[in-house]
């Protein structure tokens, strides 16, 4: 080891899902939205004035913040935006989890949480989900340095009842509780309505899933004004210009196009419910999902084998070789046609292999 390596901040990075460089696959591995972004958001991109790109962007991303504040009925001072919710979450870890006590999050959850905790040297303690992949409320009622819970959880898709989420927030008034709502728009109940009652609550959402803009990298968070100010102070100590002009303007246009948002979400929910029925018919078991993916296991065929067989067929889903979940596949909800192709293949494959 070279001497300089002793001073390196070493981390084991997060591994994102595969982004293969071909268009002829059915891509159900990264929970992207199968529908294009809002036509109004696309028009903003097409008509973007080069002058806006010549200059630095608005460091406050005011146009986007105002649109989000209006839509979600909060004050602009209660909104924070970032380069995807990953950026919002990473900034939040850095800002709020600055104590000596461990932060708490589920053992089966978004696999970036432990990476950020390690990166920032934040102690953490994972709380096991029960055998139905449910978060146990009581596990989050103890002395800790903060809490982060995705609702619905990933990769399980399981939603925790908002009254239970509120219990956790209320029991932890001394620390910040982050509710990561990346998948909330697919049928869950948002904690945004709890903001008035709890100044320790930060709700984080994203444009990547329900607004079909994963490539634009837009995330946002809501909290009380003091909390958002602390978060902004850290952000402005890190990088003034996180949001580019295209992201600011397209994000605002996507929020305005509520009819398109509701229509595409409605499609995804009905495709998800159809897929649940079909997977159950083929013998798969899965916890009920309120997200845009289903976390499924087959009692007779190992998940890794199904994963490989699907991939050979050009159908990409996500497989995690991790304790407790290594016999599950996370299948994102695509278009009706994509899901029909998945089910047709699985039916034939299971017919030959069971
Ligand atoms: N939270 C959860 C639970 C997620 O699954 C994801 C998607 N990988 C994110 C946050 C981050 O999404 P993005 O940065 O695209 O907003």
Peptide bond into 155 cis (omega under 30): yes
Cβ 175 vs Cβ 147: under 8 Å? yes
Q: What is the pLDDT of residues 117-166, one digit of tens each?
A: 999 999 999 999 999 999 999 999 999 999 999 999 999 999 999 999 99
Residue 14 has pLDDT above 90, yes or no: yes
127 in contact with ligand 1, CB cutoff 6 A = no
What the chain holds in terms of domains, given with CATH numbers, is: 17-36+259-353 (3.90.1150.10), 39-256 (3.40.640.10)
> Using only C-alpha atoms, what is the Rg of the chain?
21
158 in contact with ligand 1, CB cutoff 6 A = no
Q: What is the pLDDT of residues 195-237, one digit of tens each?
A: 999 999 999 999 999 999 999 999 999 999 999 999 999 999 9
188 in contact with ligand 1, CB cutoff 6 A = no
Please identify which residue in the block is written with the tokens 């580019």.
Answer: 244
Cα distance between residue 147 and residue 133, in whole Å: 18
Q: What is the pLDDT of residues 45-82, one digit of tens each?
A: 999 999 999 999 999 999 999 999 999 999 999 999 99
Phi, psi of 352 (to 5 degrees): -90, -20
User: How far apart are the CA of 204 and the centre of ligand 1, in A?
Assistant: 10
Cα distance between residue 249 and residue 44, in whole Å: 7
Please state the atom number of ligand 1 nearest to the C-alpha of residue 89: 10
CB-CB neighbours of 310 under 10 Å: 22
User: How far apart are the CA of 183 and the centre of ligand 1, in A?
Assistant: 8
User: How far apart are the CA of 325 and the centre of ligand 1, in A?
Assistant: 19
Contacts of 245 (CB under 8 A, 6+ apart): 48, 52, 53, 57, 58
Q: Is 178 helix (H, G, I), strand (E, B) or coil?
A: strand
Tell me the mean pLDDT in the region 251-268. 98
Residue to substitute in 114, 185, 208 for testing ligand 1 pocket (most ligand atoms within 8 angstroms of CB) = 208
């Amino acid at each position: 080891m070279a001497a300089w390596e002793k001073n390196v901040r070493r981390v084991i990075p997060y591994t994102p899902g595969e982004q293969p460089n071909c268009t002829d696959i059915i891509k159900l591995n990264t929970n992207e939205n199968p529908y294009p972004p809002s036509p109004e958001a696309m028009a903003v991109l097409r008509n973007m004035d080069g002058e806006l790109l010549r200059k630095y962007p608005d460091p406050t991303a005011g146009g986007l913040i105002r649109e989000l504040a209006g839509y979600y009925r909060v004050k602009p001072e209660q909104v924070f935006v970032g380069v995807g919710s990953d950026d919002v979450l990473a900034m939040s870890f850095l800002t709020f989890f600055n104590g000596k006590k461990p932060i708490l999050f589920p053992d089966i959850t978004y696999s970036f949480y432990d990476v950020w905790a390690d990166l920032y040297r934040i102690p953490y303690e994972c709380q096991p989900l029960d055998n139905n992949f449910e978060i146990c409320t009581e596990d989050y009622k103890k002395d800790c340095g903060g809490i982060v819970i995705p609702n619905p959880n990933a990769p399980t898709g399981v939603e925790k009842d908002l009254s239970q989420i509120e219990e956790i927030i209320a029991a932890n008034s001394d620390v910040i509780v982050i509710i990561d709502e990346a998948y909330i728009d697919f049928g869950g109940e948002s904690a945004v309505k709890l903001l008035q009652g709890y100044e320790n609550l930060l709700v984080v959402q994203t444009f990547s899933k329900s607004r079909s803009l994963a490539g634009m990298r837009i995330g946002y968070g809501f909290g009380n004004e003091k909390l958002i100010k602390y978060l902004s102070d850290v952000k402005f100590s890190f990088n003034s210009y996180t949001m580019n002009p295209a992201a600011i303007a397209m994000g605002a246009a996507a929020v305005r196009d509520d009819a398109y948002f509701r229509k595409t979400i409605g499609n995804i929910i009905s495709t998800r419910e159809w897929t649940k029925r079909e997977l159950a018919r083929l013998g798969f078991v899965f916890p009920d999902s309120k997200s845009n993916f289903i976390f499924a296991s087959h009692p007779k065929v190992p998940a890794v084998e199904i994963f490989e067989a699907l991939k050979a067929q050009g159908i990409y889903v996500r497989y995690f070789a991790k304790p407790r979940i290594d016999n599950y596949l996370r299948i994102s909800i695509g278009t009706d046609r994509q899901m029909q192709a998945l089910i047709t293949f699985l039916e034939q494959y299971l017919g030959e292999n069971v």
